[in-house]
Amino acid sequence: MKKGIIGKKIGMTQIFDEIGNVIPVTVIEAGPCVVAQKKTVEKDGYNALQLGFQEVKEKHLTKAEKGHFAAANVPCKKHLKEFRLEDCSANVGDFITVDTFAAGEKVDVTGTTKGRGYTGAIKRWNLHLLGATHGIGPIHRQSGSMGVIDPARIFKNKKMAGQYGNEQVTVLNLTIVKIDSEKNLIAIKGAIPGAKNGIVFIRDSVKA
């Protein structure tokens, strides 16, 4: 990983290119992120930068968090994220902005998907509906066979109803369409995980 930044998902819109093609994009308010901690191979065993994003009042932080920011002599931030970077040229107190990235680059975006609570197997796993005919009864949206007679138990990892969503998901190889340095906005082609105002982490693509 060569670069990364923390952002907030604003929503989706569309952009027209030079020849009139419509490009669906997700707009993210990325940075500016302050470097709250720098880790090195000599001291910590690996290179990394800890970035802070979004202003927050001190009264909303714990005593340990206040001490962490005070020791680094940086403003208090609501969100912290560590990025393991190959080149950690930035120092504590420096700011990382959207100018780190450029239009046309490939990036990976990590976010938390929308929580949907306890959900049935049809919605959670996209299973087929049972036949909507006479004789099926009130079980059109239930799973079919759970297994065989022997060993008379349900195997692990069977696709059944349960908690759906609210998990960390990373989408790979997305393309940056446009960057607005003045407003700290970055437009990425396609959809990314999470609801509006959700926190996302952007890094350069590892598989590009």
37 in Cβ contact with 46 (< 8 Å): no
Residue 148 belongs to domain spanning: 116-164
Cα(126)–Cα(122) distance, rounded to whole angstroms? 5
Give the CA angle between residues 35, 106, 37 to the nearest 5°.
Answer: 10
**Res. 193: pLDDT tops 80:** yes
Q: Are residues 13 and 68 in the same domain?
A: yes
Q: Are residues 121 and 104 in the same domain?
A: no
Q: Are residues 72 and 107 in the same domain?
A: yes
Which of 71-80, 114-123, 132-141, 165-174 is the least confident region? 132-141
First to last CA, the chain: 11
Which residue has tokens 């005919």?
Answer: 133
31 in Cβ contact with 98 (< 8 Å): yes
Q: Are residues 96 and 175 in the same domain?
A: yes
Cα(5)–Cα(19) distance, rounded to whole angstroms? 31
**Interval 137-167: pLDDT, tens:** 788 888 888 888 888 899 999 999 999 999 9
Q: Are residues 56 and 152 in the same domain?
A: no
Q: Are residues 120 and 151 in the same domain?
A: yes
Q: What are phi and psi of 101, to 5 degrees?
A: -100, 170
**Interval 81-91: pLDDT, tens:** 999 988 778 88
pLDDT-based confidence at 133, cuts 50/70/90?
confident
More confident call, 140 vs 114: 114
pTM for this entry: 0.87
**Interval 27-44: pLDDT, tens:** 999 989 999 999 988 888
Per the structure, the count of domains in the chain is: 2
Residue 110 one-letter amino acid: T
Distinct helix (H) and strand (E) counts, the chain: 3, 12
Distance of CA 175 to the CA centre of its chain: 15
53 in Cβ contact with 78 (< 8 Å): yes
pLDDT for the residue numbered 163? 96
pLDDT for the residue numbered 89? 82
pLDDT for the residue numbered 35? 92
**What CATH number is attached to the domain comprising 125?**
4.10.960.10
Q: Are residues 100 and 43 in the same domain?
A: yes
**What CATH number is attached to the domain comprising 39?**
2.40.30.10
pLDDT for the residue numbered 146? 85
**Res. 186: pLDDT tops 90:** yes
Cα(103)–Cα(105) distance, rounded to whole angstroms? 6
Average pLDDT value for the chain = 91
Q: Are residues 54 and 127 in the same domain?
A: no
Q: What are phi and psi of 185, to 5 degrees?
A: -110, 145
